[in-house]
Amino acid sequence: MRTREISNALRKALLQGEKMELSLYESKLEEHVDEWYSELKAERGDYVFIITESSGDVAMAMIDKDKNIYINEAANEQLSKIWMKNYVKNLKLFLPKLAESIDEYGIAITGITIQKSPKRAKAIGMGKRSS
């Protein structure tokens, strides 16, 4: 049942905008930022986000490849910018796994790599007709 409680707390914080706890970030996440940044650089990722829950409170951090650190609501806002139109869909997909990881390890860590989409070539013959 603990996983369900964690999932509900995450849903409230990430999807319903409930306030996240700075003190939880400071006690459980802050001291590990350099370590997570080193792992991000080693794996050549673009972002890593870390989330935790304790007694219904949620804290989150997001670190980018330039070592900008986003905390709690700012981290959630940054994540929503990265995922844009798929934010809600992705969170609904990931929430159960995040909750399981938090239940087992106390935190969930997820790396994000941005894939560049190839530019589309213009179709031949689609320009203006000459008379």
Per-residue pLDDT at 5 exceeds 60: yes
Instruction: Give 111's contacts (C-beta < 8 A, 6+ positions apart).
Output: 40, 43, 45, 47, 48
Distance (Å, rounded) from C-alpha 44 to C-alpha 38? 10
| Secondary-structure percent of the chain, ordered helix, strand, coil, rounded to 5 | 50, 20, 30
Per-residue pLDDT at 127 exceeds 60: no
Q: pLDDT digit string (tens) for 105-126? A: 999 999 988 877 666 555 554 4
Q: What is the percent of the chain where pLDDT is above 70? A: 88
Mean pLDDT over the full length of the chain: 89
- Which stretch of 30-34, 37-41, 120-124, 127-131 has the lowest confidence by average pLDDT? 127-131
H or E segment at 57? strand 57-64
